[in-house]
């Protein structure tokens, strides 16, 4: 038998260890910093410093639960801890238990049949569920777990604690999920909810993989990239909806609402906030809603009408530099002008289309403009020059007579003069309110063509806002032109925003639906009952979301970013509200204050 001598401790080392322990007693640790000053344990609650604390465990679950069933609790605006404890269980043990249970249930079913007893639906369903579970476990499609779910709530006083308790029990009870407080185990319940991995309650229920997946807690409707423009408040959880539209797949956005729903208000807020990120903004304004905003930020407000001194020549060619393909540039310009002629004269026949095509080429040739890109610097022709060419062409008499209204008749002057202004930086608003109703689609078309020619030459971060875009959808050529801009805008660092209150006209057009499909962002505000069905079909809305859009207040609706969406409330500061408001009462008040 071997004898071992006990190692003798070194007196110096022992003295050093004790000295270190004494020294550490005088230090402040992390545990000292986070520890409460006092903890009072009661049968039905804890007192943690000045807070009251109560813990709960989930006792029973229904047979079926929907995904995201925990969302109402997670988004409840109170101090709340949720703890989940998941224990994998050996499937072989479960298979043996299930086999025994299946044999028992099958035997009971046979006995009932032999006795001609009334069928037992509960027993039959349990038998079927057990067999299905055995199949899924055997194939490896499911695994088995024990699952414990605990809640700990915090309150300032007993009334608040009882109120939160009732809300928690009611919300979960409405889904047939029943909870109980951890009576006489409040400390254990509190410890089980802390991020320590402790389960001192150990109240668990059987869960399969698919059932466990429905408890995934991080399904709150957050919709933000964390930077960019503030679009509003997420009504699900009061978080901020922040997006930089130029970092998405494309920078296009569509906005739909009935009159007075808050669509122009929201877009003007976005314009104001986007300009702080050095974004140039161009607006086509049919109702004079953007003049105050333009004046506030030092922008340009350009009125396009018969009586205005501002003119746009549709024959202008973009200055794309000497390396550009002159043939391609000229062909594109001719196609655009033919589309404009279709708007002005009505749908052309194939014969008329061929005559117009030839006439436009001859009109450019009269100014020595050919497919050579160097000739594109020559002064462009005007609509009057096209009129003169048609007057001298055989077979063009009808076209000439119909065009004369825009060159010599009632609408003379708006289309047959050279362009006399340039596109400035910052905010530029094109106002077409004073254009006659029949000229509005034509006015929007030539303005869009002018803008499109300018932005392709000098690329910058820009937004193009088209209010009342349904006007463009009334005619195929203008609708097709708008769609081509939506499809190509991303290449030119442009974000297109289309706003409309006439949802049916916009979405009934195949090009309108295509514009929506090419928009990464969509804003839906309050809708009318007449249009809600087509909106719901286009955006795949649920019944609850349809009801939300019908009942929303001004500035409330749904915000879509790709396939994700959330309920939104647009908010503005006091100064922003004064700048972007469209409310007639507020505008009248501001006019009086300014002495106007």
pLDDT of 1 reads 45
Strand-pair category, 521-524 with 556-561: antiparallel
pLDDT of 464 reads 92
Rounded to 5°, angle at Cα 469 from 464 and 471 = 135
For residue 21, tell me if it sits in a domain: no
pLDDT of 150 reads 96
Task: Indicate if 298 and 329 belong to the same structural domain.
Answer: no
Residues 278, 337: Cα–Cα separation, whole Å: 33
Nearest to 133 by CA among 98, 166, 165, 163: 98
Beta-ladder partners of 153: 54, 80
Mean pLDDT by 10-residue block, N- to C-terminus, for the chain (596 residues)? 56 81 75 82 92 94 80 81 91 80 84 82 80 80 89 94 93 91 93 91 88 72 78 83 88 88 89 91 89 88 86 85 81 90 87 91 91 88 90 88 87 82 86 85 87 81 89 82 88 90 80 88 89 85 82 88 84 88 71 61
For residue 243, tell me if it sits in a domain: no
Cα dihedral across residues 429, 434, 437, 441: positive or negative? negative
**Helix 350-366 and helix 383-391, axial crossing angle in degrees, nearest 10:** 110
Task: Indicate if 447 and 575 belong to the same structural domain.
Answer: yes
Question: Which of 356, 385, 418 delimits the end of a domain?
Answer: 418
For residue 23, tell me if it sits in a domain: no
Task: Indicate if 399 and 490 belong to the same structural domain.
Answer: no
Question: Could you give the C-alpha distances from 61 to 65, 149, 150, 244, in angstroms and in order?
Answer: 8, 11, 13, 42
CATH code for the domain of 358: 1.10.8.730
| Unique residue bearing structure tokens 């609706």 | 557
Buried b (16+ CB within 10 A) or exposed e, 466-485: bbbbbbbbebebbbebbbeb
Task: Indicate if 518 and 391 belong to the same structural domain.
Answer: no
For residue 233, tell me if it sits in a domain: no
pLDDT of 292 reads 87
Burial of 149 (0-12, 13-18, 19+ CB in 10 A): buried
Range of the domain at 497: 248-309+422-596
| CA-derived radius of gyration, the chain | 36
Task: Indicate if 184 and 300 belong to the same structural domain.
Answer: no
Strand-pair category, 80-89 with 144-155: antiparallel
SS3 578: helix
Task: Indicate if 488 and 412 belong to the same structural domain.
Answer: no
Nearest to 369 by CA among 326, 312, 332: 326
Residues 41, 324: Cα–Cα separation, whole Å: 81
Number of domain units in the chain: 3
Question: Which of 418, 444, 466 delimits the end of a domain?
Answer: 418
Task: Indicate if 55 and 143 belong to the same structural domain.
Answer: yes
Q: How far is CA 444 from the centre of its chain?
A: 27
Question: Which of 401, 418, 435 delimits the end of a domain?
Answer: 418
For residue 13, tell me if it sits in a domain: no
pLDDT of 343 reads 86
- Listed in sequence order, the DSSP H helices in 408-469 are 440-457
For residue 10, tell me if it sits in a domain: no
Task: Indicate if 426 and 414 belong to the same structural domain.
Answer: no
Q: What's the DSSP call for residue 439?
A: G
pLDDT of 188 reads 94
Terminal Cα distance for the chain, rounded: 113
For 219-231, give the DSSP string: -------SSSEEE
Residues 189, 202: Cα–Cα separation, whole Å: 10
Task: Indicate if 300 and 441 belong to the same structural domain.
Answer: yes
pLDDT of 394 reads 86
Task: Indicate if 82 and 148 belong to the same structural domain.
Answer: yes
Task: Indicate if 191 and 64 belong to the same structural domain.
Answer: yes
Q: What is the pTM of this model?
A: 0.62
Phi, psi of 416 (to 5 degrees): -115, 35
CATH code for the domain of 552: 3.40.50.300
Q: Record the tokens describing residue 460, joined without a space.
A: 């910058």
Beta-ladder partners of 88: 145
Task: Indicate if 384 and 457 belong to the same structural domain.
Answer: no
For residue 9, tell me if it sits in a domain: no
For residue 524, tell me if it sits in a domain: yes
């Amino acid at each position: 038998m071997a004898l071992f001598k006990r190692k003798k401790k070194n007196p110096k080392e022992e003295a050093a260890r004790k000295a270190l322990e004494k020294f550490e007693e005088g230090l402040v640790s992390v545990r000292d910093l986070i520890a409460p000053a006092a903890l009072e344990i009661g049968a039905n609650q804890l007192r943690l410093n000045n807070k009251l604390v109560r813990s709960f465990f989930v006792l029973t679950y229904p047979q079926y639960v929907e995904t995201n069933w925990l969302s109402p609790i997670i988004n409840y605006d109170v101090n709340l801890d949720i703890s989940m404890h998941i224990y994998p269980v050996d499937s072989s043990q479960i298979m043996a238990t299930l086999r025994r249970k299946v044999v028992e249930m099958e035997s009971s079913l046979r006995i009932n049949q032999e006795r001609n007893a009334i069928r037992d639906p509960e027993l039959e369903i349990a038998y079927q569920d057990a067999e299905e579970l055995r199949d899924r476990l055997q194939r490896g499609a499911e695994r088995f777990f024990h699952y414990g779910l605990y809640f700990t709530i915090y309150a300032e006083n007993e009334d608040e604690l009882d109120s939160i308790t009732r809300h928690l029990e009611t919300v979960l009870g409405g889904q047939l999920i029943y909870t109980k407080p951890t009576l006489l185990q409040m400390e254990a319940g509190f410890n089980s909810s802390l991020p320590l991995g402790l389960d001192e309650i150990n109240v668990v229920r059987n869960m399969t993989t698919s059932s466990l997946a429905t408890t995934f807690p991080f399904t709150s409707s957050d919709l933000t990239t964390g930077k960019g423009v503030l679009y509003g408040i997420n009504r699900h959880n009061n978080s901020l909806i922040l997006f930089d539209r130029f970092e998405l797949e494309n920078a296009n956005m569509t906005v739909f609402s009935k009159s007075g729903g808050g669509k122009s208000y929201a877009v003007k807020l976005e314009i104001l906030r986007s300009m702080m990120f050095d974004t140039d903004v161009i607006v086509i304004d049919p109702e004079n809603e953007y003049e105050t905003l333009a004046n506030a930020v030092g922008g340009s407000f350009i009125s396009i009408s018969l009586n205005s001194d501002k003119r746009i020549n549709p024959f202008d060619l973009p200055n794309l530099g000497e390396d550009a393909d002159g043939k391609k540039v000229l062909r594109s310009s001719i196609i655009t002008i033919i589309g404009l002629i279709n708007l002005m004269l009505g749908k052309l026949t194939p014969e008329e289309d061929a005559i117009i095509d030839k006439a436009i080429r001859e009109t450019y040739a009269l100014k020595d403009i050919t497919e050579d890109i160097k000739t594109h610097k020559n002064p462009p022709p005007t609509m009057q020059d096209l009129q003169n060419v048609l007057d001298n062409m055989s077979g063009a008499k009808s076209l000439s007579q119909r065009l004369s209204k825009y060159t010599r008749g009632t609408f003379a002057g708006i289309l047959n003069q050279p362009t006399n202004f340039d596109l400035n930086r910052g905010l530029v608003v094109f106002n077409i309110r004073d254009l006659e109703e029949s000229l509005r689609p034509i006015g929007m078309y030539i303005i869009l063509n002018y803008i499109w020619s300018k932005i392709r030459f000098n690329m910058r971060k820009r937004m193009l806002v088209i209010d009342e875009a349904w006007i463009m959808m009334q005619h195929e050529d203008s609708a097709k032109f708008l769609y081509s801009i939506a499809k190509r805008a991303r290449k030119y660092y442009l974000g297109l925003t289309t706003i409309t209150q006439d949802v049916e006209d916009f979405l009934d057009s195949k090009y309108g639906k295509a514009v929506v499909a090419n928009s990464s962002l969509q804003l839906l505000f309050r809708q009318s009952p007449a249009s809600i069905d087509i909106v719901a079909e286009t955006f795949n809305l649920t019944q609850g979301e349809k009801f939300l859009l019908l009942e929303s207040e001004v500035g409330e609706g749904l915000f879509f970013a790709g396939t994700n969406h959330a309920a939104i409330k647009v908010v503005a500061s006091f100064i922003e509200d004064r700048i972007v408001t469209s409310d007639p009462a507020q505008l009248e008040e501001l006019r009086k204050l300014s002495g106007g």
